[in-house]
Structure 1
């Protein structure tokens, strides 16, 4: 184990999964595995180890409600359904369980720079279309413009402002304007809360 580097807390409900994941990451440059925890003991372990980031083997789901909102995380998931669930909780990095250690470390670097990393294999699960009739009804109720709805859908996929600007062929300043407008209309304190509220009201799919 290295003496310096990004401090990782490995989380998994199964002891063997924790030990295996910790072993894989220990040999990677620039990182330091400072401890291991399961979902139930996570809160206490966070105080003890004070990690920079979590690497969580979520598998088929488990206790998802205990994801902390003040520590960035990489979730290793079994399928698109769980990928969608953890993104809905605001988890910044979502990778398959068989991701290589190098891929996990690369994703960690991106997440700690404020980016969102989602493996392409989960793209379809995170962009399921919804019924047109439901869309029209809810957009009318909340008075969201078509452009704001496009931005909202991108936010739900964890897309950065810069990437949204590129995707929609508008300036980053315009994206920020739309995001602020959405937060006001949805009475949300941040982007994540805006997505949660929009999901509950039917503006975007679960």
Structure 2
């Protein structure tokens, strides 16, 4: 089932652009677009989103001053122009932090993740937000091959083996082989664990 998305942005062109990009993603449906002055609770009742993609714009500090994402009933992915206000946005309760120029597939993957109650942070922000993170991460036993990384990234988008096979123009049997190799190298038992662990390692960006 496709994830329902509410887009919030002060700039009407930014709203329209995000709506167009995300509407073309296989697991996304944009149910509404509002500016950041609209009544958010009413909009959530009206559009019933699974997640909110909030473009904070160039002047992110203005929005952050009155934003408390923890009070919002659905997870928020914040799009930021740079690292300047990342800590404040994270502290305000955003479940995802991405750059404003993130690709549509990256945003869609982030939506999938936050809907599953995961948090998503672009690597650009992670060093500032989690300075000790790299020291606590267990590295994989073996390095993933380029093809395994391709499969892993498609797994992160929630694609089935059949879809991955079609996308990469390989057999479904070969996809299963790669998935098993990925699970073994990351020392995990499931596809979900593989995606979460790979994200923590910085192998993929959700």
Q: Tell me the TM-score normalised to structure 1 length.
A: 0.58
Tell me, yes or no, if structure 1 residue 55 matches structure 2 residue 53. yes
Moved over 4 A (4+): none
Could you say what secondary structure the match of 1:81 adopts? Answer: coil
Contact 2:6 2:51 in 1 (8 A): yes
List alignment gaps of at least 5 residues for structure 2.
Answer: 139-206
Deviation of the 1:5 alpha carbon: 1.4
Contact 1:12 1:56 in 2 (8 A): yes
Find the counterpart in structure 2 of residue 45 from structure 1: 43
Find the counterpart in structure 2 of residue 99 from structure 1: 102
2:85 and 2:111 map into 1 onto residues whose CA distance is: 19
The 5 Å alignment of 1:57-76 reads 57-59=55-57, 60-61=59-60, 62-64=62-64, 65-66=66-67, 67=69, 68-76=71-79
Deviation of the 1:24 alpha carbon: 0.7
**Cα-Cα RMSD:** 2.4
1:10 and 1:69 map into 2 onto residues whose CA distance is: 14
Q: Tell me the TM-score normalised to structure 2 length.
A: 0.58
Match 1:18 to one of 11, 15, 18: 15
Count of residues paired in the alignment: 133
List alignment gaps of at least 5 residues for structure 1.
Answer: 129-152, 155-162, 169-206
Tell me, yes or no, if structure 1 residue 118 matches structure 2 residue 121. yes
1:14 and 1:25 map into 2 onto residues whose CA distance is: 17
Find the counterpart in structure 1 of residue 154 from structure 2: none
Deviation of the 1:81 alpha carbon: 2.1
2:93 and 2:47 map into 1 onto residues whose CA distance is: 22
